Every structure is written in structure tokens, then in C-alpha cells.
Amino acid sequence: MGLSIFDERTVLSNRIRFQLADGTGLKALLGAAGTNGDRLDNILLCNSDGIDHIVVFWEVSSAVNYCIGSINVPAGTGHGGAAAVDAIPHLIASGQGGFLQDNLSVLNCSLEVAVVTGEVDVVAMGGYF
């Protein structure tokens, strides 16, 4: 049955924005979840900056950052009629229906290169168990 057997109990919608002053440091997209963890169904990436950006995703467990993937987000993605990029298909195994996280893990993001003129938005949608 795959992930369809999981029933999310509460809606989850978190967002972060990388701006000029933010540099390339880590930002928490999703803190430690409720008592039973969470599932992310979409992580939408938009880029209004003048250059392409690589968004790097890190899962934090026991205070250690583990890189779980990175996605190129072309300049203009999610703006002017261009579709946003969904990171989920790049972060999970083929055939899974979402990104599962236990109740103690944290999901962080960073940029490989700092924003020049615009912004890079990361929006996570899913639910808590």
C-alpha cells in the first residue's frame, strides 16, 4: 500500500525565505515534529533572484547535520508564470508518496551561494501524525 496507510492528523505548512543578508547558513524548515512525526507531501522552491540557486537539504539527528540532497532552482522559478520546483521527488526513494520524518529530527535548508538581488523561498506542506 505504500504511504497511503499513514493518516496525517494535523496540517503542516512551514516556510523560510533566503534574502541578501542571509548568506549560506542553515535555516530550519521543520523543527522536531509532534509525538509521532510528520510527512511532507510537497516542498516548493521559488527563486526571484537573478541567478540560479542550489538549495541543500539537511536532516539533523542528535545534533549532527546529514545532507540528504540538493536541488537546482533556476532564476525566475515560481515567478512570472513559471512553475515552482517540488523538491520531494528528489529527496525520497522512487515510489514513496512523501518525506517521512520522526518526531526528533529537524529538516534544515541552506544555499550553496548567497542571494544576490532577490529571494529564494522554500515552502513545506504536509501533516503531523
Give the pLDDT confidence of 56-83 residue by residue, as tens digits.
Answer: 999 988 889 999 999 999 999 999 999 9
Give CA–CA dist 120/77, Å, rounded.
9
The 10s digit of each residue's pLDDT in 24-53 is: 999 999 876 667 788 888 999 999 999 999
Helix/strand/coil (H/E/C) assignment for every residue in 65-99: EEEEEEEEECCCCCCCCCCCEECHHHHCCCCCCCE
pTM of the predicted protein model: 0.89
Q: Which CATH architecture has domain 9-128?
A: Sandwich (2.60)
Radius of gyration, alpha carbons of the chain: 15
- Region of 113 (left: φ > 0; alpha: ψ -120 to 50; beta: rest) is beta
